[in-house]
Structure 1
Amino acid sequence: MEIGKLAGRELKQVILNKIDHFRSDILVPAGIGEDSAVVDIGDSLLVVSSDPITGATNKAGFLAVNVSCNDIAAAGAEPFGIQVILMLPPELGTTESENLMQEIVDSAKKLGVEVLGGHTEITDLVKQPIITITALGRAAKGELAATSAARSGDILYISKGMGIEGSYILANDYPNLLLKNGVSQAAIDSVLNFINQLSVLPESRLARQNGVKAMHDVTEGGVYGAIAEMASAANLGFLIEKDNFVPHDSVVEICTKLDLDPAGLISSGSLLMAAPPELDLEAVFANSGIDIFRVGKLLSAGNFIVENGQQESFELPEQDELWNFIEKNYGNS
């Protein structure tokens, strides 16, 4: 199997088909495109999501916290706590381990989230720290946003841009390789500032307050993957409007030099939102200080892409562009 998260067909065959959904209080069970489970606990809803960080080294604790809490935000909830699992190699010293945990605690506290506990283990089965975080959130019953709530005809928007997390990881972990491939220091410095854009909590709050019912965090697989997962969760097709894509100049430079597609690059910090045309989401965000860009629309059936004015069938790439980069330059080690 390819490195990276399982693709939809394999995920369904290997994992999801083994899970029984039999409890009436589980409102959103495990499913393709649904990153969070939702549980009815009476007066409110409990939202739960788990995520690992495996493709980053520097600032991995910060990324882990924000990525997991972004899934909670995409479900229309407010995160309040996290459980942390750390699998650490024996070579990692006590100081490095303490610094990693402090980074996790500090990152969570900035979001108003408390570390509730977890598990820490030293194992020679890993070569670098593996961080897995389970985030817990609370939602009012009227504010739930499920990926499967998207409808045919909905317009698709992303916040901030594309390739945000992926380009940050590339610049943060592989700056010398980027320079060697002709990426300018200015572009590297520019995307390093994306660290301040990795939370989608602000746009999630604004979107759900204005009636958006379907959102999805743009993680592995980038914009392509997020659109495909949302459509799959809602049993719909999609049209990707690539001619509308507006990647940041520095992301374009990095991806061009490394022969990567920014729309297929992991992009935590971007939120995919589906809204009916009459909602006019662009007007909602106009004075918010958060940029949004139209990237497509949902269809009753069929998967298509429009590029240079030409519409063609679309097939999702096999893996995220970050993994393509790592495999090309470092093999499977």
Structure 2
Amino acid sequence: MQAGKLSIAELRRRVLGYLGQERPEVAVHAGVGLDAAVVDLGGDLCVLASDPITGAVEGAGRLAVQVSCNDVAAMGAEPVGVLATVLLPEGSGPEDVERLMQEISRQAQALGIEVLGGHTEITSRVTAPVVVTTAVGRVQRGRLVTASGGRPGDGLVVTKGVGIEGTAILAADFGQELAGRVAPEVLERACRFADELSVVGEALAAARLGATAMHDVTEGGLYGACRELAAASGVGVELWMDRLPVRPETRAICDAFGLDPAGLISSGSLLIATPDPEGMVRGLEAQGFQAFVVGRLVPEGLWRVTKEAQPGSGAQRRPFPENEEDELWRFLRSR
């Protein structure tokens, strides 16, 4: 089996049928496109999400905190803390553990959250560092947003751009290979994308602005986020390819390696469904966040449209790529 996430079909078949004993305190259970669970223990709702970092070498500790907190914030919840599990390969030393913990702590401080605990270990079972974080957040009753709330007719908004995280990883880890193919100043800017991988601020703002559903754009890129939001909401997606916000740095690196930016891992981008996409963009931009209308939810199907679908526009509709593998994993597998 290829590296990367299970397909939606395999996830349903191999994972989601084995969830133990259902508990009445669980308000949002595990499901396709639902990256966080919600537990009702009285008072505010408790939101929990867990994520591993396996595809990055540089900045893994910082990224681990960001991605799990992104999942919590995409439910409209304020992150409170994280639990961190750090697994390092044999040959690593205590200083390597400390370096990762320093990264984790700095990012936690930046988000105003606490490291609640976890586990650290050097083990022969891994050949590269693996960092897993579980984020804990809270949200008031009535303020919860899930990936299952989208409805046909809702517009789709994306923040920042597509392929943000993948661009930073490729620039940092394969800079020497890109030298001569991508200008040095482009690579330098691309590496700085790693400073933009949190969506906590825009997710909490989007929740206040009336988002009906949200999903952070991680493995599988924008295609993957659309698939998962569509599956959770029981709808289809029309993605307007000509309007995707692909930064010049992302375009240059993807062209050099033959990658599709819309399928590239993209922590730092948030996918938002809303009945008023233009109003959402204005509201987010007023708070300092970049946002772009990129499509809409439709009754069924997953479609790439080369022009905005309007009568007489000559729009061409093609289905999403059949292969759900992230472009980063496809690239790494080819090395």
Compute the TM-score of the two structures, normalised by the length of structure 2. 0.94
Q: CA RMSD in A?
A: 1.4
Q: 1:44 to 1:263 in 2, by over 3 A?
A: same
| 2:39 equivalent in structure 1 | 39
Q: Contact 1:66–1:198 (CA<8 Å) still a contact in 2? A: yes
Q: 1:105 to 1:326 in 2, by over 3 A?
A: same
Spell out, residue by residue over 1:167-215, the C-alpha distance to the aligned partner (whole angstroms, 9 max, x if none).
00111112111215x1221111111121221111111121111111311
Give runs of aligned pairs for residues 82-121 of structure 1, distance below 5 A. 82-121=82-121
| 1:328 equivalent in structure 2 | 334
Shift of 1:11: 0.7
Q: Contact 2:155–2:277 (CA<8 Å) still a contact in 1? A: no
Give runs of aligned pairs for residues 154-173 of structure 1, distance below 5 A. 154-173=154-173
Q: Which amino acid aligns with 2:331?
A: F
**Aligned equivalents of 1:316 and 1:268: distance in 2?**
22
Q: Contact 2:224–2:324 (CA<8 Å) still a contact in 1? A: no
Give runs of aligned pairs for residues 267-286 of structure 1, distance below 5 A. 267-277=266-276, 280-286=279-285
Structure 2 counterpart SS, 1:100: helix
1:317 corresponds to which of 310, 323, 327: 323
Q: Contact 1:224–1:316 (CA<8 Å) still a contact in 2? A: no
Structure 1 counterpart SS, 2:92: coil
Structure 2 counterpart SS, 1:136: strand
Q: Contact 1:36–1:71 (CA<8 Å) still a contact in 2? A: yes
Q: Contact 1:83–1:117 (CA<8 Å) still a contact in 2? A: yes
| 2:297 equivalent in structure 1 | 298
Shift of 1:316: 4.3
Q: Which moved more, 1:256-265 or 1:201-210?
A: 201-210
Q: Which amino acid aligns with 2:105?
A: V
Structure 2 counterpart SS, 1:186: helix
| 2:222 equivalent in structure 1 | 223
Q: Contact 1:147–1:230 (CA<8 Å) still a contact in 2? A: yes
Shift of 1:283: 2.1
| 1:179 equivalent in structure 2 | 179
| 1:233 equivalent in structure 2 | 232
Q: Contact 1:303–1:315 (CA<8 Å) still a contact in 2? A: no
Q: Contact 1:144–1:213 (CA<8 Å) still a contact in 2? A: no
Structure 1 counterpart SS, 2:324: coil
Q: Which amino acid aligns with 1:163?
A: G
Shift of 1:16: 0.6
Alignment partner of 1:10 is 2:16: no
**Aligned equivalents of 1:248 and 1:278: distance in 2?**
21
Structure 2 counterpart SS, 1:148: coil
Shift of 1:106: 1.4
**Aligned equivalents of 1:48 and 1:86: distance in 2?**
19
How many residue pairs end up in the alignment? Answer: 328
Q: Which amino acid aligns with 2:318?
A: E
Q: Contact 2:160–2:245 (CA<8 Å) still a contact in 1? A: no
Q: Which amino acid aligns with 1:124?
A: S
Give runs of aligned pairs for residues 139-150 of structure 1, distance below 5 A. 139-150=139-150
**Aligned equivalents of 1:58 and 1:40: distance in 2?**
37
| 1:60 equivalent in structure 2 | 60
Q: Which amino acid aligns with 1:221?
A: G
Gaps of at least 5 residues in structure 1 are none
| 1:212 equivalent in structure 2 | 211
Q: Contact 2:281–2:291 (CA<8 Å) still a contact in 1? A: yes
Q: 1:136 to 1:278 in 2, by over 3 A?
A: closer
| 2:253 equivalent in structure 1 | 254
Q: Contact 1:158–1:271 (CA<8 Å) still a contact in 2? A: yes
Q: Contact 2:97–2:120 (CA<8 Å) still a contact in 1? A: no
Shift of 1:277: 3.2
Q: Contact 1:228–1:316 (CA<8 Å) still a contact in 2? A: no
| 1:263 equivalent in structure 2 | 262
Q: 1:21 to 1:262 in 2, by over 3 A?
A: farther
**Aligned equivalents of 1:164 and 1:99: distance in 2?**
24
Q: Which amino acid aligns with 1:311?
A: R
Percent of aligned positions with the same letter in both sequences? Answer: 45
| 2:69 equivalent in structure 1 | 69
**Aligned equivalents of 1:38 and 1:316: distance in 2?**
31
Structure 2 counterpart SS, 1:229: helix
Shift of 1:25: 2.0
Spell out, residue by residue over 1:33-64, the C-alpha distance to the aligned partner (whole angstroms, 9 max, x if none).
00000011211100000000000011110111
